[in-house]
Structure 1
Amino acid sequence: MDTLQQQIFDLDRKVDRLHELVERISDRISTLILERQQLPENELANFPSKNSLRSSLSQTNGHFQSLTDHKDILVDDGEERLRLNSESGQTLSSDIQIRRLTAQLTAAYNRIAALEEQLLACRINS
């Protein structure tokens, strides 16, 4: 049971680190927005425009496409059908894929709850 407790502890640490990272990113974005709002008009011209950001993004899109090309990653580009996997050529609608991912998430939550119950039972018996 020690390995199970260690796995739970490791997962808990990873979730905490992700939460901290999201908070730092959110704080940084807020800071950048405030800084940009406080800049005078002539300095705003030095910021990249949306079009230049889009063009630079499209250049690197090929690299990131390989990172995000997975059956469980939803693509938010207006496509009505998403690839299930690259070998089979099958497609899923966004609605069906969202339902499938929701079911997987629910199963994961249920598994976490079961593991927590086992952990509590072990602590009570100890």
Structure 2
Amino acid sequence: MSKKRIVAVIIIVLLLMFLIIGSGCEFLGFGVQVTTGIGKIFFDSADPLVYGEVYVDSIHIGYLKPFDRISTFVALDFDHEVWIRSNYGAEYRWKFRAPFTASQIIPLTLDTVIKP
């Protein structure tokens, strides 16, 4: 094999390794797994008083009704703050620590509200 072909094969192998590890797949069974990326997170109103306009990291994602569910896509490897502004003027805040798993359901209750 010529030097150019060997270099090309090495570059291709390195690119494949980077793509496999970067996508979060296990690489050759060695358990090297990266938990980065974007996932859909579901927020459940697990309390009748937890409803209103929902913000995740100051981005409005919709309106949550009592015992309802709302979802958004978030970065799985960052902490996120969720807050709800209800019709009667109350604001509730939660902080969730990374890492998350994709399609994770997070219950929002008054017991877990961040106290000011």
Above 0.5 in TM-score? no
Bigger relative contact order (CA 8 A; separation at least 6): 2
TM-score by length of structure 1 reads 0.26
TM-score by length of structure 2 reads 0.28
Higher helix share: 1
Higher strand share: 2
